């Protein structure tokens, strides 16, 4: 009986050899992929020590693409894949065999705790990296991956799991970059909002059935944002597009939804800055799935106009699933522009190589994001932001008059949330005044909420809660949560004088000041 | 309970309400509120314009 598994010590060379062995690709093609350089750094950072190769693996997504496309080719493309598992502890083939054939000689718990995830290798000539679920970079110190979920893995009876978000390379047949980005996104929204998990070919077909491309739909040459929106509707969600011409809008909008766990499609133009003048890469754009972010510990720059301070402006990098690079690839918000037509254009870093062969010499110009939303999340972020910006400016005006004992301007953390998450945080919060916790915990609230947490020196001072399921014309402000009793009393007093009432009633913050005016 | 701080004594709700009444009816106070409203409207309008996705962007091929 031929072996159904193999145990190999991890090294980047052995990994690339396995990619070549279990696909139809030649080693030169494997080593020239950006993924090879990316995985070298990634596995070093997460500490891979051992590989277990699971042969003859049936992968649902590949099987679907196979049955719809590859099986109809004249060439005999194989039906089964290979799944490569990674562990952070070292063990040998003999030790693993012993664990399967008799009571384990090493601890099953060790195997579970050291599991780093897997990569499915597809039996194709070039695009070999299939469904990939790998442990993220360690969270903390500003790094966060809210879009990850648990993947259960059964390896010969061992019940393993990894917290990640599935990633795969585009196969340039059933999927180009846009489909691959959506496929990753749906892995998260499917578990959040209980919709199906379409395969790449199902996504491409649903995107193009009513909005066919000018060229062939299959093999797929890419999608437009409009087509991606159609694919989002096909799983029962609502697409919400936002243009992203500057750092503030990119950061604030992505953060607002990603913090709730919703991964976001980001459409970018790639520009090769190793050329003079800077030159676009290819003829179209590229799509990635934004899956995480990293915040720095410095005061955010104020927004133009009112000087509004948004917590999201602390974001210094996003982590994205870039199907041409790898999972959780970094894109730095580093303030370096690209130059087009003599103008500086906002851009972020990428891991692509320019003509000079240097990783990072291609920069990404964010064009727009597409947020897939459950239909009940009706109030968009910008409406809540508008209200908080208005409230903030009045608050700051009063603070500068000396009405509040706050030494610095409030910084606002605005993000989508749900009632369970809010109450879970309130239950364990040490910032709430005594007696107030029970009131908040027992108040009936809608399922989806917008939270605008006003932070002073990093601690919550005041929070504004909005109903995300209401209609824009209505009063969807629910209530404040005041972490400081003095702020509550002062705001109530300040909302009374008729000239302030008149000014605030003519602003987007009207309902908030009315709430304080009418409160007991 | 504890002793009230100087700030809390100085700025009791009643005193704040009185102080605010006086301030908002002053020239400086009226101007501050007017300026705030104007700045809010300008900032919010600019953000809204910048966020709007035109049809050219929606139809941009993402083909790389």
Let me know: does A118 contact A153? Beta carbons within 8 Å: yes
Mutate to test the interface with A, among B46, B60, B61 (most CBs of A within 10 A): B61
B1 touches chain A (CB under 8 A): no
Chain B residues whose CB is inside 8 A of the A324 CB are 64
Contact residues for A285 (Cβ-Cβ < 8 A; gap 6+): A267, A268, A269, A270, A367, B60, B61, B62, B63, B64
Stretch A439-447: mean pLDDT:
91
Chain A residues whose CB is inside 8 A of the B1 CB are none
- In the three-class reduction of DSSP (H, G, I as helix; E, B as strand; rest coil), residue A271 is classed as strand
Please state whether beta strands B61-62 and A129-134 pair in parallel, antiparallel, or not at all (unpaired).
Answer: unpaired
**Is pLDDT of A520 > 90?**
no
d(CA A211, CA A457): 50
**A519 or A35: which leads in pLDDT:** A35
Instruction: Enter the ipTM.
Output: 0.87
d(CA B32, CA B37): 9
d(CA A41, CA A180): 22
Residue A105's pLDDT band (cuts 50, 70, 90): low
Confidence (pLDDT) at A347: 97
Q: Cis check for the bond before A277: say yes or no (omega within 30 of 0).
A: yes
Query: SS3 string of A142-206?
Result: CEECCCCEEEEEEECCEEEEEEECCECCCCCCCCCHHHHHHHHHHHHHHHHHCCCCCCHHHHHHH
Stretch A366-374: mean pLDDT:
97
Chain A residues whose CB is inside 8 A of the B57 CB are 225, 241, 243, 267, 367-368
Let me know: does A333 contact A247? Beta carbons within 8 Å: yes
A407 touches chain B (CB under 8 A): no
Confidence (pLDDT) at A174: 66
Question: Judged by CB atoms within 8 Å, which residues 43-62 of B form the interface with A?
Answer: 43-44, 46-48, 50-54, 57-62
Per-residue pLDDT of A261-306, as tens digits, reads 999 999 999 999 998 889 899 878 999 999 999 999 988 999 988 9
B27 touches chain A (CB under 8 A): no
Nearest residue, CB atoms, B53 vs list A368, A490, A506: A368
Chain B closest CA to A352's CA: distance in Å? 12
B8 touches chain A (CB under 8 A): yes
- In the three-class reduction of DSSP (H, G, I as helix; E, B as strand; rest coil), residue A489 is classed as helix
Chain A residues whose CB is inside 8 A of the B13 CB are 489-490, 492-493
Let me know: does A211 contact A226? Beta carbons within 8 Å: yes
A287 touches chain B (CB under 8 A): yes
Please state whether beta strands A315-322 and A326-332 pair in parallel, antiparallel, or not at all (unpaired).
Answer: antiparallel
- Mean pLDDT estimate for chain A: 92
Q: Cis check for the bond before A517: say yes or no (omega within 30 of 0).
A: no
Query: SS3 string of A236-270?
Result: CCEEEEEECCCHHHHHHHHHHHHCCCCCEEEEEEE
Residue of chain A minimizing CA distance to B28: A401
Which residue, A382, A418, A398, is CA-closest to A310? Answer: A382
Residue of chain B minimizing CA distance to A305: B43
Let me know: does A364 contact A247? Beta carbons within 8 Å: no
Confidence (pLDDT) at B2: 45
Exposed/middle/buried for residue A37 (C-beta within 10 Å: 0-12, 13-18, 19+): middle
Residue of chain B minimizing CA distance to A390: B40
Let me know: does A133 contact A166? Beta carbons within 8 Å: yes
Per-residue pLDDT of A155-214, as tens digits, reads 999 999 999 999 999 877 767 899 999 999 999 999 999 999 999 989 998 998 876 666
Per-residue pLDDT of A202-254, as tens digits, reads 999 899 887 666 666 666 678 999 999 999 999 999 999 999 999 999 999 99
Per-residue pLDDT of B16-36, as tens digits, reads 888 888 888 899 999 999 999
Nearest residue, CB atoms, A243 vs list B8, B57, B61: B57
Let me know: does A59 contact A67? Beta carbons within 8 Å: no
Four-CA torsion A331, A334, A340, A342, nearest 10 degrees: 180
Chain A residues whose CB is inside 8 A of the B64 CB are 176-177, 222, 270, 281-282, 284-286, 324
Confidence (pLDDT) at A108: 81
Let me know: does A285 contact A244? Beta carbons within 8 Å: no
Residue of chain A minimizing CA distance to B25: A499
Mutate to test the interface with A, among B11, B57, B63 (most CBs of A within 10 A): B63
Stretch A500-517: mean pLDDT:
94
CB pairs under 8 A between A and B: 154
Give the single-character DSSP code of A285: B
Give the single-character DSSP code of A336: P
Chain B closest CA to A87's CA: distance in Å? 33
A176 touches chain B (CB under 8 A): yes
Let me know: does A228 contact A207? Beta carbons within 8 Å: yes
**Is pLDDT of A104 > 70?**
no
* Pairwise CB contact (< 8 Å): A285 & B63: yes
Per-residue pLDDT of A52-98, as tens digits, reads 999 999 999 999 889 988 898 888 899 999 999 999 999 999 888 88
d(CA A127, CA A29): 10
Residue of chain A minimizing CA distance to B63: A222
* Pairwise CB contact (< 8 Å): B50 & A282: no
Nearest residue, CB atoms, A282 vs list B48, B51, B64: B64
What the block records as the tokens of A469 is: 């399921």
d(CA A379, CA A107): 50
**Rounded (5°) CA angle A259-A263-A269:** 115
Contact residues for A509 (Cβ-Cβ < 8 A; gap 6+): A387, A388, A390, A391, A394
């Amino acid at each position: 009986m031929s072996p159904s598994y193999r145990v190999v010590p991890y090294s980047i060379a052995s990994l690339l050899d396995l990619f070549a062995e279990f696909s139809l690709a030649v080693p030169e093609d494997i080593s020239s992929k950006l993924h090879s350089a990316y995985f070298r750094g990634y596995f070093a950072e997460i500490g891979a020590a051992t590989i277990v190769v699971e042969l003859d693996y049936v992968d649902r997504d590949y099987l679907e693409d196979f049955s719809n496309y590859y099986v109809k080719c004249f060439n005999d493309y194989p039906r089964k894949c290979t799944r490569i598992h990674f562990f952070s502890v070292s063990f040998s083939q003999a030790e693993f065999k012993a664990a399967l054939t008799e009571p384990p000689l090493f601890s099953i718990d060790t195997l579970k705790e050291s599991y780093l995830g897997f990569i499915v290798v597809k039996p194709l000539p070039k695009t070999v990296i299939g469904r990939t679920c790998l442990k993220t970079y360690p969270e903390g110190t500003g790094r966060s991956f809210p879009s990850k979920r648990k993947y259960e893995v059964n390896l010969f009876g061992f019940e393993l799991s990894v917290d990640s978000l599935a990633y795969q390379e585009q196969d340039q047949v059933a999927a180009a970059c846009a489909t691959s980005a959506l496929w990753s996104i749906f892995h998260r929204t499917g578990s959040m909002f209980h919709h199906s998990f379409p395969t790449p070919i199902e996504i491409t077909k649903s995107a193009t059935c009513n909005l066919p491309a000018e060229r062939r739909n299959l093999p797929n040459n890419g999608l437009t944002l409009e087509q991606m929106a159609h694919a989002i509707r096909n799983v029962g969600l609502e697409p919400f597009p936002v243009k992203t011409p500057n750092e503030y809008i990119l950061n604030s909008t992505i953060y607002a939804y990603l913090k709730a766990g919703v991964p976001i499609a980001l459409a970018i133009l790639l520009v090769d800055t190793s050329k003079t003048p800077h030159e676009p890469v290819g003829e179209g754009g590229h799509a990635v799935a934004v899956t995480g972010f990293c915040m720095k510990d410095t005061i955010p720059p104020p927004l133009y106009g009112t000087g509004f301070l948004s917590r999201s402006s602390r974001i210094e990098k996003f982590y994205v699933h870039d199907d041409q690079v790898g999972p959780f690839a970094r894109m730095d918000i580093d303030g370096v522009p690209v130059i087009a037509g003599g103008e500086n254009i906002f851009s972020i870093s990428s891991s692509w190589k320019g003509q000079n062969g240097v990783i990072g010499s291609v920069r990404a110009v964010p064009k727009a994001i597409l947020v897939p939303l459950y239909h009940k999340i009706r109030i968009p972020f910008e409406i809540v932001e508008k209200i908080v910006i208005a409230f903030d400016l009045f608050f700051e005006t009063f603070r500068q008059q000396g009405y509040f004992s706050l030494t610095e301007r409030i910084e606002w953390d605005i993000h989508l949330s749900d009632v369970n998450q809010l109450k879970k945080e309130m239950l364990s919060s040490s910032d709430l005044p005594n007696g107030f916790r029970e009131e908040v915990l027992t108040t009936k609230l809608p399922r989806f909420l917008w939270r605008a947490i006003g932070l002073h020196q990093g601690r919550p001072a005041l929070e504004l809660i909005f109903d995300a399921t209401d209609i824009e014309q209505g009063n969807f402000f629910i209530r404040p949560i005041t972490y400081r009793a003095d702020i509550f009393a002062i705001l109530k007093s300040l909302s009374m004088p008729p000239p302030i009432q008149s000014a605030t009633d003519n602003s987007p913050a009207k309902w908030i000041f009315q709430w304080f005016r009418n409160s007991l | 309970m504890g002793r009230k701080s100087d700030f809390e004594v100085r700025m009791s709700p009643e005193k704040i309400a009185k102080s605010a009444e006086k301030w908002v009816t002053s020239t400086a106070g009226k101007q501050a509120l007017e300026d705030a409203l104007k700045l809010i409207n300008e900032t919010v309008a600019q953000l809204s314009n910048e966020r709007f996705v035109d049809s050219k962007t929606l139809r941009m091929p993402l083909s790389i």
